[in-house]
Structure 1
Amino acid sequence: MKTFKRKTNKINFIKIFKIAAGSSAAILFADFLGLKYSASAGIITLLSIQDTKKETLVVAGKRFLSFLLALLTAYVLFRIFGYHTITFGVFLLVFITESYVFHLQEGIAMCSVLVTHFLIEKDMGTAFIWNETLIMIVGTFVGILLNLYMPGNSDAVKADMRLIENDMKIILGKLSECILSNRDTVKSDESKNCCTLDKDFNDLDDYLREAFSRAYDNMNNTLLSDTRYYIQYFTMRKTQVNILKHIKEQLCLLTIVPRQASPIASFLNTVREQFHEYNNAEKLLGELEQIKSGFRREQNPVTREEFENRAVLYIILYDLENFLNIKKSFVNNISFNQIITYWKTDD
């Protein structure tokens, strides 16, 4: 199986460049407007640049509301108690509490810095409030403007889909091999280990987590189109992987692999061969129903061991049915627009 190397230490050079260039541009623009404390506009830009477009807009909105709250709180407290350090301490106590009550924590640090300007100048007149408001607007606007450009990662998400499909095919093949290699033999502890597939499933779980992360980033960077399809797809595959884990666990419960398991092994290979994003699984479900009918025609088991092993095979059959129904449900529930948008046979 192709293993996935996590990229947890990857440096986002584009974001670093945006922060450096954007912060400088915000300061220069604030200087051009003749604003006091223009450097604060650069810091606001730095704080405004997030990892996705959606996150940038959401944080900007919350910080603007936080700024209005900070202005009102500071105005009342400075007017009542004067421009003193103790008053600023009271402001922090009240403002931080308000921020948590109204879920505006993102603006605490930035707004607290802006309020220190009122403390230093000992002024909350209209002109200076407008000065701080413009600093806020300039810094936030530059950050949003720069984050309108966000490199798309649709190709990476599609590559994730193909690699996950390939790894699931490999697991299906190994489950089939596990049955065939131990057919009509008593399973020793050593032979049971052949179907644990622990490393395969661990690698696939890691890859799914990273694939979900990229899919969510892609969705949050595409504001004008619906890219939830990728989230739906990976959710479906994650559920199927959990079922494959259960099948593996059932295989390890077999004390002997009886001849009735051969059709299951063959069917697992059939599923592997037809495993694809566009398959609605209806044909496979029909084939599975034939296997189940064949099981029902079999003579009843004679010994307790035969009964227990046959029961395990029945559980595997119903796991496979659930596995296929999940894919069928996925295909039936996606919209026509998603089909014409994402089901392109370009690979």
Structure 2
Amino acid sequence: MPFRIGYRTLKTAIGAGVAVAIAQMLNLDFYGSAAILTLLCISTTKRDSVKASWYRIAACLIGLVVSSIVFSFIGYAPWALAVVLVLFIPLAVMWKVEEGIVTSAVIILHMYTAQEVTVSLIINELLLIIIGVGVALIMNAYMPSSERKLRHYHKEIETHFKKIFFELAVYLRYGESDWDGKEIYETDELLKAGQNEALVNIHNHFLRYEDRYYYYFKMREKQFELLERLMPYISSIDQTYEQNVVLADFLEELGAAISPANQVPYFLDRLEDIKKGFQKTDLPKTREEFEIRASLFYIMNELAEYLHIKDRLWNELDKKKL
């Protein structure tokens, strides 16, 4: 992997330096610990950063109280430090702030190193916590926009869907295809990456818990699962009949029209017309033709569900006004 300095790395490094500079400017003892707090509180999203900051502040305060009480009553021997940790760690777990245990250990060791509990020492530690966490929150206040990545995944997924529909139509029309199927694997990876990026985008907004992109990727995921179910049925049809060609034309039209726009009513009507046309044709004359006709009806029913998935998404979006 080539050497690369990422945005988060740069932000973390600058934040650590700023935290130490502020702590030194205020003549605080153990000023390097401000950088440690900043390093631990900078996260990949704004929401995660706030959570991490809360866990570490709460855990540090618990550690400060426990160490002050224990050291004041039983002294500053190594076994006293062990007692502090024996009491502190279960308390942190009980209060569900165990993520801050490591950070709090730094504060506890400061108390042990100082060999005394004084008001000035407690103020020193509180200021270190405020500076370290505060700088981290400020550095995380700006996050690069995910819009470009989300648009990229959106476009690539639609391109892959179109290719899949085209290849399925080819197989229905000719009973064979030289398609290597690589778009199947690639689409699965794109859907996972798109959903992850959409979640990051959501977590970078404090008052947003869902958005259109996340809904879109979830919709495509469900539709993709349905297409995967269809493939064995389509690949089992190795004879060409008039009905195959009609459904192949429909698949090509459906694939060409893939877009965020809601064209579901039109395609549901088209599908219903095709079903009615099939019902008017002569009954199958052979077992093989009967099995193919049954597969075609199954495929049409699944395609109707494919369209309903999108229709339900649009209804949800309209209700939520996303």
TM-score by length of 1: 0.86
Larger mean CA deviation between 298-307 and 288-297 belongs to 298-307
Q: Which amino acid aligns with 2:281?
A: E
Larger mean CA deviation between 8-17 and 137-146 belongs to 8-17
Query: Alpha carbon RMSD of aligned pairs, Å?
Result: 2.2
Question: 1:139, 1:259 → 2: CA distance?
Answer: 72
Please name the residue that 2:303 is paired with. 320
Query: Residues 212 and 10 of structure 1: is their aligned pair in 2 closer, same or farther, counting only changes over 3 Å?
Result: farther
Please name the residue that 1:177 is paired with. 170
After the TM superposition, which parts of structure 1 deviate over 4 Å for at least 4 consecutive aligned residues? 8-12, 224-227, 336-339
1:13 matched to 2:32: no
Kindly state the Cα deviation for residue 71 of structure 1 after the two structures are TM-superposed: 2.1
1:265 matched to 2:258: no
1:333 matched to 2:307: no
Q: Does the 8 Å CA contact 1:280/1:327 hold for their aligned counterparts? A: no
Deviations 1:250-275 (Å, cap 9, x if unpaired)?
A: 11233534332222101101101211
Larger mean CA deviation between 168-177 and 90-99 belongs to 90-99
Superposed counterparts of 1:1-347, under 5 Å: 11=4, 13-182=6-175, 191=176, 194=178, 198-223=181-206, 228-335=211-318, 338=321
Q: Does the 8 Å CA contact 2:72/2:116 hold for their aligned counterparts? A: no
Query: Residues 294 and 70 of structure 1: is their aligned pair in 2 closer, same or farther, counting only changes over 3 Å?
Result: same
Larger mean CA deviation between 238-247 and 101-110 belongs to 101-110
Deviations 1:39-76 (Å, cap 9, x if unpaired)?
A: 10011111111111111111111211112222233233
Q: Does the 8 Å CA contact 1:178/1:194 hold for their aligned counterparts? A: no
Q: Which amino acid aligns with 1:254?
A: I
Query: Residues 251 and 163 of structure 1: is their aligned pair in 2 closer, same or farther, counting only changes over 3 Å?
Result: same
Larger mean CA deviation between 26-35 and 64-73 belongs to 64-73
Query: Residues 311 and 76 of structure 1: is their aligned pair in 2 closer, same or farther, counting only changes over 3 Å?
Result: farther
Deviations 1:209-261 (Å, cap 9, x if unpaired)?
A: 11112211222223356762111110001111111111112112335343322
Kindly state the Cα deviation for residue 198 of structure 1 after the two structures are TM-superposed: 3.8
Q: Does the 8 Å CA contact 2:165/2:252 hold for their aligned counterparts? A: yes
Q: Which amino acid aligns with 1:269?
A: E
The 3-state SS of whatever aligns with 2:249 is: helix
Query: Residues 148 and 9 of structure 1: is their aligned pair in 2 closer, same or farther, counting only changes over 3 Å?
Result: farther
The 3-state SS of whatever aligns with 1:335 is: helix
Identity of aligned residues (%): 28
